[in-house]
Amino acid sequence: MTSPQPLHVAVIGAGILGTSTAAHLARGGARVTLVTQGKPADGASGRSIAWLNSSGARSAEYRYLRLIGLDRYRTWRERHPESSAYLRFDGALKWAGEDESFRDTFAYERAGGYDSVWLDREQVAALTPDVNAEAVASEGAIYNRGEGWVNLPDLIAALLAEAVADGAEVIEDAGDVRVDVQDGTAVGVILGNGARLAADRVVLATGGHVPAQLAALGVHVPDATPAAFVVVTEPVEPRVRTVLNTPRVAVRPMPDGRLVLDADWAEKSIVVGEDGALTVPEASVRGLLEEASRVLAGNPTLVAERVAAGLKPIPGDGEPVVGSVPAIAGLSMLFTHSGATLGLILGELVAEEVLTGRPSPVLDAFRLSRFDQDAAPAEVGTGAWAPVTAAADISSAPS
Ligand SMILES: Cc1cc2nc3c(=O)[nH]c(=O)nc-3n(C[C@H](O)[C@H](O)[C@H](O)COP(=O)(O)OP(=O)(O)OC[C@H]3O[C@@H](n4cnc5c(N)ncnc54)[C@H](O)[C@@H]3O)c2cc1C
């Protein structure tokens, strides 16, 4: 008697979501082909603040999803002790601008059992000596010792190695890969060179390009994807450990002492050219460096090593859109913000759904079907334009 052939699943996109799904599928016994346009981690996952958290006042379902996202990182850390180089839970601090307050956010987090504590400036100085306590809001700050960060390109490399060890095939530089749909069923993928690759199931995980790719198949996904950028600094001594979310800058350490910086105001300053090219004003880069220096102990001089710009995938209502695509049999999708925090858990749950055919109750609140599929696609979001990256005055490339 011959044993049944394993399910063949093609996954499009080697960011954190596609790679995690591929690794979990391969671990679960599927035959996996992961195809990606360029190199792994060349999208949002390569230029993410990647703060691991379930912070802020969000829906109960989203809060829970991020909590089990954090849980899977702790499991990963136990399974991979070497991950301590790129996965840290050294705590995170956030504070409000002087014209607002985080007291309500703190109360919400505490009411949900989240491990936040309120610190005044003196306590900030004692507990997070890498932070300039003078820069903290006069009302104080929210500190969570259990939050952390991950350097996604390292995690993606580790997941890829695991997937390949479990038999997955990875096709890089595949160009613009599309889902091959025939008679309403996903039957495989079409590579950039036109070659067809048959598969039993397809998973679409192309980050900010998911809405445009689904729109081409007649499926509407509300999209609020903006262009965003981060500044990566040269290494800083003494090492920064705490992730910072402050009114004017977010700061997170990298494994080698460099810092990644971004901010909403800086994001809004990106200029999108008619051809889709992104230009990051030099003043925004300088501003981020100054703001970061101001919030760090000792006000170190920070030097930009590079700027990385591109799409920041965000669904229209801000919450993940995950699971099967009802209009197309055999097709699943992942499209979300907070994809660093959610990377391991969403890959695991989607893989389980594909392998078993059983929907996960955890994903019920995050289905595409929550949107009215008959609604006219009023906006396709910025994901429709090309992911060209350019910076005005210092060299820039998507990392
Ligand atoms: C500035 C910034 C800050 C962030 N901060 C946080 C944070 O603090 N915490 C948090 O949890 N999350 C954060 N995020 C969100 C998180 O980084 C993303 O949700 C996550 O990286 C998305 O992963 P992805 O796999 O969906 O997409 P991506 O990483 O973009 O991967 C998609 C992949 O698909 C490939 N691809 C695209 N189109 C095609 C095609 N047609 N054919 C083949 N391949 C294709 C791309 O080349 C890419 O490799 C942030 C994101 C940004 C940009």
C-beta of residue 90 within 8 angstroms of C-beta of residue 148: yes
| pTM of the complete model | 0.94
- Residues paired with 189 in a beta bridge: 179, 197
| Pairing relationship of beta strands 259-262 and 51-52 according to DSSP bridges | unpaired
Superfamily of domain 8-46+153-224+316-370: FAD/NAD(P)-binding domain (3.50.50.60)
Whether the predicted pLDDT of 53 surpasses 50: yes
274-299 pLDDT, tens digit each: 998 999 999 999 999 999 999 999 99
306-358 pLDDT, tens digit each: 999 999 999 999 999 999 999 999 999 999 999 999 999 999 999 999 999 99
Question: Residue 1: its pLDDT value, please?
Answer: 58
Distance in Å, CA 147 to ligand 1 centroid:
20
CA quadruple 356, 35, 369, 24: dihedral, nearest 10: 30
Which residue lies with its CA nearest to atom 7 of ligand 1? Answer: 50
CA pair distance 283, 281, nearest whole angstrom: 5
Whether the predicted pLDDT of 164 surpasses 60: yes
15-26 pLDDT, tens digit each: 999 999 999 999
- The mean pLDDT of 246-271, rounded to a whole number, is 97
Question: Residue 207: its pLDDT value, please?
Answer: 98
Domains of the chain by residue range: 8-46+153-224+316-370, 92-145
Question: Residue 333: its pLDDT value, please?
Answer: 98
The one-letter amino acid at 122: E
Distance in Å, CA 375 to ligand 1 centroid:
26
89-148 pLDDT, tens digit each: 999 999 999 999 999 999 999 999 999 999 999 999 999 999 999 999 999 999 999 999
Pocket test for ligand 1, best of 45, 173, 284 (most atoms within 8 A of CB): 45
- Residue 158 or residue 382, greater confidence: 158
User: Is any ligand 1 atom within 6 A of the Cβ of residue 254?
Assistant: no
C-beta of residue 63 within 8 angstroms of C-beta of residue 69: no
User: Is any ligand 1 atom within 6 A of the Cβ of residue 219?
Assistant: no
Whether the predicted pLDDT of 386 surpasses 60: no
The one-letter amino acid at 349: L
Query: 372: pLDDT confidence band, cut at 50, 70 and 90?
Result: confident
Whether the predicted pLDDT of 388 surpasses 60: no
What angle do the packed helices 60-79 and 339-356 form, to 10 degrees? 90
The CB density around residue 138, as the number of other CB atoms within 10 Å, is 8
List Cα–Cα distances, 232 to 184, 256, 399, in angstroms.
44, 12, 10
Which residue lies with its CA nearest to atom 21 of ligand 1? Answer: 45
